[in-house]
Amino acid sequence: MTRTTTFDTLLVANRGEIACRVMRTARQVGLKTVAVYSDADANARHVREADAAIRIGPAPARESYLDIDAVISAARRAGAGAVHPGYGFLSENGRFVTALEEAGITFVGPPASAIAAMGDKSAAKARMANAKVPLVPGYHGDDQDDALLRSEADKIGYPVMLKASAGGGGKGMRVVESGDAFQAALDGCRRESSAAFGDERMLIEKYLVQPRHVEVQVFCDRQGQGVYLFERDCSVQRRHQKVLEEAPAPGMPPALREAMGSAAVRAAQEIGYVGAGTVEFLLDADGAFYFMEMNTRLQVEHPVTEMITGQDLVEWQLRVAMGEPLPCTQEALTITGHSFEARLYAEDPEQDFLPATGTLTRFALDLEGAGLDGAQVRLDSGVESGDVVSMHYDPMLAKLIVHGVDRDAALATLNRALAALDVQGVVTNRAFLQRLANHPAFKNLELDTRFIERHEATLF
């Protein structure tokens, strides 16, 4: 039996909507909350909502939210017994986790060894092959000789996808249509990967032509138990980045759901996982699924899972971090209704989605005016009217999450909620989200990862 770790103060090493969302549950479970902020965020919403706030450096993330020493010394000063990393920033940084451990502070997340096992896509694939989790056919070896990679790509058969082993956030990936185009694509990917991750290693995968992106939410406790909280479909992507997500994945036969769920739990247990994690798969039209990667943190899109299961994943994270067993068995978890999440970005779809800045003169969601019930709609936001949107960080302002008895009902609610969102002063992608959510092909479940690309003419 693992000893229970108690803490009464939680430092949230993040900003924006996720910092606010984590603190909301932390307060509900009776924890004192501590925010950290850079100079650009001295007046940010997450700072206003915290019980205490500590400055950790100037605006550039590298000198503040990514500064391990600054965050740890803030935790010490605040007397925080635990740190929640949110997503992005230090959330998947093994050095950070180790440094917290050395400082005697609990990390609300997996052990450093599990982060390391999944941090590198090539190494992760080798581990997953071990655990009999199906992989996209491809090459993920250490030998990185150009000629060898080319011959592996030839063997796999074109089109292939080149991916940076160290990659993430859609960077360092390219589809290669033919052998002739291979070398140029390889050079391009290596350059991008080296600039973004300081690492040039590549892996090659068979490029699946019309897959869906279906990911499974898993949870493990320190006692070694693991469950899955079903799946999310995140096929609506722009440049390999998610835009609209939903849960459950439409049209999943129960046997497939169970097969993917148990493969995901196996993946997590293979690496001694603890806490919230997401195992991402590509799903073929014929129901075959392939492991892509595991994200060792809470995902942006976790609320759609909360909406259909009625569970609070941040509460689960905090309980597991305290050493408690999982609150619920697999059998006790069920799916109720359907949920969507739309990501609202400060960006201009008219200008190739260039990030936008300015002062939000108004930021409001008029539920009553739209005849919407508060239980069906959730706005997870990092901003309020009057806030300034700077160019320093990720331009996501908020997430609009809805729930309905079924997919059609949830989609209708999403459309009404998007229309009820009143954002002024900063350009956003709201109209683009509305065109997506209103699109007949989206309603008709013509889902795959190239949805946006295919419907460009009617979406832009």
Output the smallest distance, CB 200 to ligand ADP, in A.
16
**How would you list the strands of the sheet with 202-206, edge to edge?**
138-139, 202-206, 160-164, 173-176
Any idea which residue has 């915290």 for tokens?
Answer: 50
Q: Judged by CB under 6 A, does residue 281 bind ligand ADP? A: no
Number of residues that bind ligand ADP (CB under 6 A): 19
The reply to whether 280 sits near ligand ADP by the rule CB under 6 A is yes
Amino acid at 426: V
346-365: contacts with ligand ADP (CB under 6 A)? none
Catalytic pick from 21, 222, 257, 297?
297
Q: For residues 205 and 301, which CB has a smaller minimum distance to ligand ADP in the complex?
A: 205
Exactly one of 157, 170, 188, 224 binds ligand ADP (CB under 6 A); that residue is 170
Q: Which stretch binds ligand ADP (CB under 6 A): 57-65, 74-82, 168-176, 312-320?
A: 168-176
Among residues 85, 94, 167, 382, the one that binds ligand ADP under rule CB under 6 A:
167
CB nearer to ligand ADP: pick between 237 and 381 = 237
Q: Which residues contact 49 (CB under 8 A, 6 or more apart)?
A: 20, 23, 33, 35
**Two structure tokens written together for 372:** 């919407």
Residue 250 in tokens: 């439409």
Stretch that binds ligand ADP, among 162-170, 180-188, 333-341, 358-366 (CB under 6 A): 162-170
φ, ψ dihedrals at 172, nearest 5°: 70, 30
C-beta of residue 90 within 8 angstroms of C-beta of residue 66: yes
Give the single-character DSSP code of 137: S
Environment class of residue 133 by beta-carbon count within 10 Å: exposed (0-12), middle (13-18) or buried (19+)?
Answer: buried
Question: Which residue's entry shows tokens 């010394």?
Answer: 73
Is residue 169 close enough to count as binding ligand ADP by CB under 6 A? yes
| Shortest distance, position 213 Cβ to ligand ADP, whole Å | 4
Q: Is 297 a catalytic residue?
A: yes
Q: Which of the ranges 124-132, 165-173, 312-320, 343-351 carries the binding residues for ligand ADP, by CB under 6 A? A: 165-173
In the numeric block, which tokens belong to residue 77? Answer: 């000063």
| Whole-angstrom distance, CA of residue 402 vs CA of residue 303 | 9
Residue 173: CB minimum distance to ligand ADP, A: 6
Taking the complex as a whole, the smallest distance from the CB of residue 331 to ligand ADP amounts, in Å, to 30
What whole-number distance in Å separates Cα of residue 110 and Cα of residue 114?
A: 6
CB 15 to ligand ADP: min, Å: 21
Neighbour-count burial of 428, counting CB atoms closer than 10 A to its CB (0-12 exposed, 13-18 middle, 19+ buried): buried
Closest approach, Cβ 233 to ligand ADP, in A, equals 11
Which of residues 31, 78, 114, 161 is near ligand ADP by CB under 6 A?
161
Nearer to ligand ADP, 75 or 90 (CB): 90
Burial of 149 (0-12, 13-18, 19+ CB in 10 A): buried
Query: 361 φ, ψ to 5°?
Result: -70, -30
Q: Is 207 in the site for ligand ADP (CB under 6 A)?
A: yes
Piece in contact with ligand ADP (CB under 6 A), picked from 159-167, 257-265, 385-393, 421-429: 159-167
Q: Among 24, 55, 150, 240, indicate the residue that binds ligand ADP (CB under 6 A).
A: 240
137 lines the binding site for ligand ADP (CB under 6 A):
no
Return the beta strands (E) in 300-384 as ranges: 338-345, 347-348, 354-355, 358-359, 362-365, 377-381
Calpha distance 270→258 (Å, rounded):
18
The answer to whether residue 79 forms part of the interface with ligand ADP (CB under 6 A) is: no
Closest to ligand ADP by CB, 32 or 213: 213
Nearest approach, Cβ of residue 209 and ligand ADP (Å): 7
Nearer to ligand ADP, 106 or 237 (CB): 237
- Read off the tokens for 85: 């990393």
Question: Stretches 111-119, 124-132, 205-213, 335-343: which one binds ligand ADP (CB under 6 A)?
Answer: 205-213
Nearer to ligand ADP, 169 or 188 (CB): 169
DSSP output for 243-272: EEEEESPTT--HHHHHHHHHHHHHHHHHTT
Tell me if 220 sits within 8 A of 412, measured CB to CB: no
Among 66, 71, 208, 396, binds ligand ADP (CB under 6 A): 208
Residue among 84 and 163 whose Cβ is closer to ligand ADP:
163
Using alpha carbons, select from 26, 115, 13 the residue that is nearest to residue 322.
26
Binding region for ligand ADP (CB under 6 A) out of 107-115, 208-216, 220-228, 320-328: 208-216
Residue of the chain from 109, 111, 211, 395 that contacts ligand ADP (CB under 6 A): 211
Give me the residue label for tokens 């959330």. Answer: 91
β-partners of residue 399 are: 343, 380
H-state helical runs in 198-301: 254-270
**Among the residue ranges 160-168, 308-316, 324-332, 415-423, the one whose residues contact ligand ADP (CB under 6 A):** 160-168
Residues annotated as catalytic are 297
Applying CB under 6 A, the residues found at the interface with ligand ADP are: 136, 161, 163, 167-170, 205, 207-208, 211, 213, 237, 240, 280, 282, 292-293, 449
